Amino acid sequence: MTSVPRYGFIVGGVRVGEVAERAGVNVETLRYYERRGLLPTPHRTPSGHRRYDDETVRFLVAIKETQAVGFTLAEIAEYLRAARRSTAPSDALRVRMAAKIDQIDARVAALRRMRDELARVVGCACTSLDHCTCGAAYLARRGAPPTSRPSLLHITNGESAGNTLRQTALGGAVLPWQDSLHEGPVPALPRHELLRTRARFLAERGWGRQQALLSSLERRDRQLLDALRDDLQVVLWFEHDLYDQLQLLDVLALAYTMGTAPELIVVGSFPGRPSFAGLGELTASELETLWPARRRATPAALEAATSAWAALRAPAPTALADWATRECAELPFLAPALRRLLEELPAPADGLSGTERRALRAVAGGAHSPPAAFVGVQRLEEAPFLGDSWFYRALSALGQGRTRLLETDDGTPLPPPPPLSDSQHFARLELRLTATGERTLRGEADRVELLGIDRWIGGTHVTPANTWRWDATKLELLRPSRR
């Protein structure tokens, strides 16, 4: 037999011991597969030795992989017989195959959830730890800074678009900004205190330990400021929705303090995608087509972002409402995004936020599980921005107390939302509106009076004693009543 590398192509065939070793099975297993008919009888040399080819190794590996996802040897043998026959499989076999497909789909979904959770915890799918700025690389380097500095830093909203950017030919490091600034307090504090406040809020909502979250936010800021100080090319990739526009304000306001101007790629649509929902749905090649359209942030854009960022963080939303009702040529998506943020204030007629009203409408319209309600609400949004976990938090708040607006199908309050509870259990809940919820949805009752309120819109703490309201029809901010 011709000599070949250990994992190269087999020339002339190999003996049973070597093929078993390469495939990761023992010799008895290989012979058992032959007896079961999974493997064809091998060719024998004149001296009587079995000889196998490269295809046999690949086939044995495939059997192991198939078993690993839940197939029995009997099922594998049955499917192989069907595949090798020229006739169509029987109806009974079709039914069993369809059931197996359902099992595989469920396993794929579970693996995807596991992968997404690991990506959230670790932070990235980077191919090199030398200069990557993600949490995974930071942990792998045990907290050490990158050994080499790229000349280009991409900043985007999160890991979905970030991982695709890493697959492009653009090069550079990717820094996801990753903060849901439409949720929780964003007060007018010094930067280090603001980050502490954000870390504490996120930790209280189950997103990790406060110190770990704070370290991640501080490291993120430091990476941006170092890049700006060292005059690296910094390119911001953001979308038109509320989640992205608030992050864009944050980054531009930081850049303004450094006296430098990053480049911008900010989009609200993409050719060939009429229902464009964000950069995360684009392929690497599609992201590359946006590169020539980047432009440097003008002094007017930096000043506008800094002013709007201050308005967001103010203890009263008056300046925020002013920004929401005027157009800004330098930041064309800002005003619609801020109007959507102000919809999270209670409405004058029913005390519901925009998200809460859409949620009640979705459940009333037949979306009787949290995932179904989430999908229904997403369809009602002009520019979807809310993740399912934050949406579930809004659902849970409506399902608390004796005067709750939502409840489970057996009449009990809703449990805490994930990640404070089991996400699969929460997703399986059957939802219904209470009679009080139906009245509130008709504008005959007030959510704040029924459930109270403790909510932050940027720097404004909305409480029963400080209930600012927003009329989305008139685009009018209503001050707290003094009754």
Tell whether 118 is covered by a domain: no
Task: Say if residue 173 is in the same domain as residue 249.
Answer: yes
Tell whether 26 is covered by a domain: yes
Q: Which domain holds residue 12?
A: 1-89
Q: pLDDT (tens digit, 9 = 90+) per residue, 438-461?
A: 999 999 999 999 999 999 999 999
Q: pLDDT (tens digit, 9 = 90+) per residue, 193-224?
A: 999 999 999 999 988 889 999 999 999 999 99
Task: Say if residue 269 is in the same domain as residue 173.
Answer: yes
- The residues, any chain, with a CB within 8 Å of residue 7's CB and separated by 6 or more, are 22
Residue 260 near residue 228, CB atoms below 8 Å: yes
- Give the Å distances, CA to CA, from 436 to 23, 358, 398, 446: 64, 16, 11, 10
233-239 vs 152-156, strand pairing mode: parallel
Position 59 scores a pLDDT of: 78
Residue 187 near residue 459, CB atoms below 8 Å: yes
Task: Say if residue 362 is in the same domain as residue 322.
Answer: no
Position 412 scores a pLDDT of: 96
Residue 73's CATH number: 1.10.1660.10
- Residue 380 pLDDT more than 60? yes
Task: Say if residue 328 is in the same domain as residue 380.
Answer: no
Tell whether 461 is covered by a domain: no
Model confidence, pTM? 0.71
Task: Say if residue 323 is in the same domain as residue 359.
Answer: no
Task: State residue 264 phi and psi, 5-degree precision.
Answer: -120, 135
Task: Say if residue 318 is in the same domain as residue 185.
Answer: yes
- Residue 106 pLDDT more than 90? no
Counting the structural domains of the chain, the total is 3
3-state DSSP: the chain helix, strand, coil percent, rounded to 5? 50, 10, 40
Confidence of residue 121 (pLDDT cuts 50, 70, 90): low
Which two three-digit tokens encode residue 202? 């996120």
Residue 168 near residue 284, CB atoms below 8 Å: yes
Task: Say if residue 267 is in the same domain as residue 369.
Answer: no
Average pLDDT of the residues in 388-392: 92
Task: Say if residue 298 is in the same domain as residue 162.
Answer: yes
Q: Which of 89, 104, 136 is the last residue of a domain?
A: 89
Residue 172's CATH number: 3.40.1360.10
Q: Which of 65, 89, 113 is the last residue of a domain?
A: 89
Q: pLDDT (tens digit, 9 = 90+) per residue, 2-43?
A: 332 332 333 345 677 777 777 777 878 878 887 877 777 777
Task: State residue 338 phi and psi, 5-degree precision.
Answer: -70, -35
